[in-house]
Chains A and B, each alone.
Chain A
Amino acid sequence: MASRQPIDIVIALDQASIANNQADLSESGIIVYDSKILKQAFTGPEFLDVPFVELATKDGGSKVMANTVATGAVLGMLGMDPSPFEDVLKELFLKKGQAIVEQNISAARRGSDFARQHCERCAFSAAPPGRPLMLINGNRAIGVGAVMSGCRFYTAYPMTPSTGILTYLAGKSDDYGIVVEQAEDEIAAINMALGASFAGVRSMTGTAGGGFALMVEGLSLAAVTETPIVIALGQRPAPATGLPTRTEQGDLLFALHAAHGEFPRLIFAPGSPEQALYLTNKAFDLSEKYQIPAIILTDQYLADSQWTYEGLDLSRLICEDHRLRGERPASLSDDYKRYALTDTGISPFAVPGDIRQVVIADSHEHDEEGHITEDPELRRRMVDKRLFRKLRSLRSEMAPPTFYGHPDARTLFISWGSTYGVVREVIGNLQEQGAAMLHFTEIYPLPGTDTFDYVTLLTKAERTVCVEQNATSQFARLLKAEIGFSCSATVNKFDGRPFLVEELLEALHVYLD
């Protein structure tokens, strides 16, 4: 479920690949390289010299096929059936013609044969193939979740690590009926998405911290106009450009507090692609039901990590239309009011053009129809409607955290979002020693305690350690602010690299008796 420190196989196409990785090589690890490319031969049992270029060019192939040879060599080292790889090569090079396909396939075979013959310490072997599994990353799972939730409009300005959602959906536009537009900037993206949502379809945008900073005024606009929108916010280490292609959980409090004014919002932080699928669905459902913005908080690690699954159950997804469209508006009274004051705070949400009355959204404080007002009493009632009435029922919509580990754990490790896999794996190793974890994916508003009283659990634990991929323990701060609970210790990592199993094991071990 998570990355580990030791490396089993390094394909070294330059000197740096050796220098950077040799120290982390596992006991039986191997560095595959070509002494001609690196202009140096290495001795030692961990080195396997495969003439990538020579094998690539043998029957008229080109030097660029050295990669294919190297991949073939690894398959040979693992004793794996080459045919799936050959299928990939066929698909990949089909456009370049049969000759290139053939040359690549024979290059792969030569690499494989060479490695089989020459690898002296190839101790690993691949498990026999079973049923094919799914392979999906966080971004694509969000994309699937959006499509299956009936998202019909996606617009974004490219920014790592969320570009993958834009790319996935752009490729599905015609098949699944989604308009996908690359906006001129993030300000345009969120405003365009709000226009689309106002006009009657579920819409979404995605970005990283820097782009989200530009969207902030639009977030406030979504709130006051009560226009549903889902925003995927993929975190990466900042301030500013930071480490653009690395990972961090540094924007939780930003996502929570961003935008002027007081209004409710939803924040979900999936811990795996599977959770990303279901939480994207939940974000769409609740955002539309309550007419508030929903943020899906991921990070580079989750966005790009590939997970395997037997399958994902799409029948669990909810898709209820909370708008008044088509025939339904016939029941409306003559004086339709977009912001009618109701007990729940939720006003009837009509699609413009579907009814004979007009639909008015306004960024000012407004009356029930949507017209500008300065009336103090109306202002008070609108805040009550938008904020307090909705918040009242929102909390009960949020699912409690996941508990895993020793049932009477003395030490409780708290985590959220993308660290789910690594923390769970480590707790699996430590539960005998009295460790357990509490993992949060439904972050804001914090879930109620009716179905699972996690607050009592926290208060009763002897030690509570909050594990976060950031420097300032932002989730621990959220717990303090929302439920008045202080964690007794924190574990933080903020070098832009995901937690590795070994290092987290060592870091958490300290807190056990």
Chain B
Amino acid sequence: MSTLTDFEGKTPTWCPGCGNFSILRAFKQAMVDLGLAPHEITVVSGIGQSGKFPHYTRCNAFNGLHGRTLPVATGVKLVNHTMPVIAEAGDGDCYGEGGNHLLHAIRRNIDVSLFVHNNQIYGLTKGQASPTSLAGMKTKLTPHGVIAEPLNPLLLAIALDCSFVARGYAGDLEHLVGLMKAALRHKGFALIDILQPCVTFNLVNTYGWFKERVYHLEPDYDPEDRAEAFKRAIEFGDRIPLGIIYRNHRLPMEERIPLLAKEPLVRQAFARGIIARTILNEFY
């Protein structure tokens, strides 16, 4: 059995009050609740305040490039599919720089849990607009307000028939722990867009702003109803739903590769001698 202290890492350099603290706390709690030990999981992250995540806990980790969490996570999962793989990304990281990878990770339905620290701003680089910044938001680079409409990640994911789509909120820790556990238990690609107040650079979407808007999906809400899921995903204004918005039962990528049916690639022996006997035959 693991405990919270097993997941203790370096001291975070995030600003006091940052939403990332509760995401980190929720993550550790979820791992402990699932009975996972640090060496049994891999966290892949990119670059951003969110990208520092794995250094502030303890687990196998690949802290790679800005925007490239999902390809790395896909590679890890295909090689060792019994190992839980979690991608921690920023909104700029995953919806901007690496947007293409999101589309294709969803299409593949690789069994990776993607937790997006969505603070609707570029935190690390000190406050530029992100793909989820609300139109009109003023930043140093957009003195007249952001012109482009914000990306709606949930709507996009449901449109691509993503097999698990949820929204969490850093201000609701217990609920977030539940979502993370559900995402890890889910077989297939799981996206949790986590609303994460940035107390320094996003003075629009504050704890107060969210408090007035967020609500939990009703107990009888059916996440397998795709049409209803679209309706809820569109809601991002006066009311913002939290919970598992959409889910389906598509087979994950690893289960569709015959080679991986028996055991993870990393544990399969390489039949060098046998292959050597026949590999050149076709060239004669």
Q: Does A99 contact B (CB under 8 A)?
A: no
Q: At the interface, is chain A mostly helix, strand, loop or mixed?
A: mixed
Q: Which residues of B contact A191 (CB under 8 A)?
A: 64-65, 68, 71-72, 75
Query: Measured between C-beta atoms, what is the minimum distance from B109 to chain A in Å?
Result: 13
Residue of A183, A357, A363 contacting most chain B CB atoms (<10 Å):
A363
Q: Of the listed stretches A2-10, A53-61, A104-112, A311-319, name the one at the interface; the rest are far from the partner chain.
A: A311-319
User: What separation, in Å, do the CA atoms of A203 and B100 have in the docked complex?
Assistant: 22
Those of B245-284 within 8 Å (CB) of chain A? 257-260, 265-266, 268, 270-272, 275-276, 279-280, 283-284
Known: A150-B270, A173-B259, A352-B60. A199 touches B79 (CB 8 A): yes
CB contact under 8 A between A177 and B268, given known A185-B100, A191-B75, A200-B79: yes
Please encode chain A, from 184 to 205, with 1 for each CB lying within 8 Å of some chain B CB and 0 for all others: 1101110111111111110100
Contact, CB under 8 Å: B104 / A188: yes
Bound-state Cα–Cα, A418 to B131, Å? 46
Find A200's partner among B65, B266, B276 (CB 8 Å cutoff).
B266
- Would A311 and B280 be within 8 Å (CB), given that A153-B78, A188-B104, A352-B80 are in contact? yes
- A147 and B284 CA atoms in complex are apart in Å by 18
Q: What band does the interface of chain A fall in when counting residues whose beta carbon is under 8 Å from B?
A: 35 or more
Query: Given the complex of chains A and B, what is the CA–CA distance between A381 and B103 in angstroms?
Result: 40
B278's closest neighbor in chain A, by CB? Answer: A175
Instruction: Give the distance in Å from the alpha carbon of A135 to the alpha carbon of B52 in the complex.
Output: 52
Are B68 and A187 in contact, with the CB atoms below 8 A? Answer: yes
Closest A residue to B44 by CB, please name it.
A195
Does A196 contact B270, Cβ atoms closer than 8 Å?
Answer: no
Check if B68 sits within 8 Å of A353, measured CB to CB.
Answer: no
Asked whether A355 is an interface residue with its Cβ less than 8 Å from the other chain, the reply is yes
Question: B71: which A residues are within 8 A, CB to CB?
Answer: 183, 187-189, 191-192, 195
Judge whether A391 is part of the interface by a CB distance below 8 angstroms: no
Residue contact A196 to B63, C-beta cutoff 8 Å:
no
Q: How far is the CA of A315 from the CA of B276 in the complex (A)?
A: 9
Nearest-neighbor residue (CB-CB) of A179 within chain B: B78
Residue of A135, A193, A362 contacting most chain B CB atoms (<10 Å): A362
Residue B54, interface by CB 8 Å? yes
Q: B residues within 8 Å of A by Cβ?
A: 10, 38-40, 42, 44, 47, 52, 54-55, 58-65, 68, 70-80, 83, 100-101, 103-104, 257-260, 265-266, 268, 270-272, 275-276, 279-280, 283-284
Can you name 20 A-B pairs with beta carbons within 8 Å? A135-B284, A144-B280, A148-B275, A150-B270, A152-B265, A152-B270, A181-B74, A187-B71, A194-B62, A195-B62, A195-B72, A196-B75, A201-B265, A217-B65, A312-B280, A352-B60, A353-B83, A361-B61, A363-B63, A372-B63
Complex A-B, nearest 8 residue pairs according to Cβ-Cβ distance, in ascending order = A195-B75, A191-B71, A195-B72, A199-B79, A196-B75, A352-B60, A192-B75, A184-B104
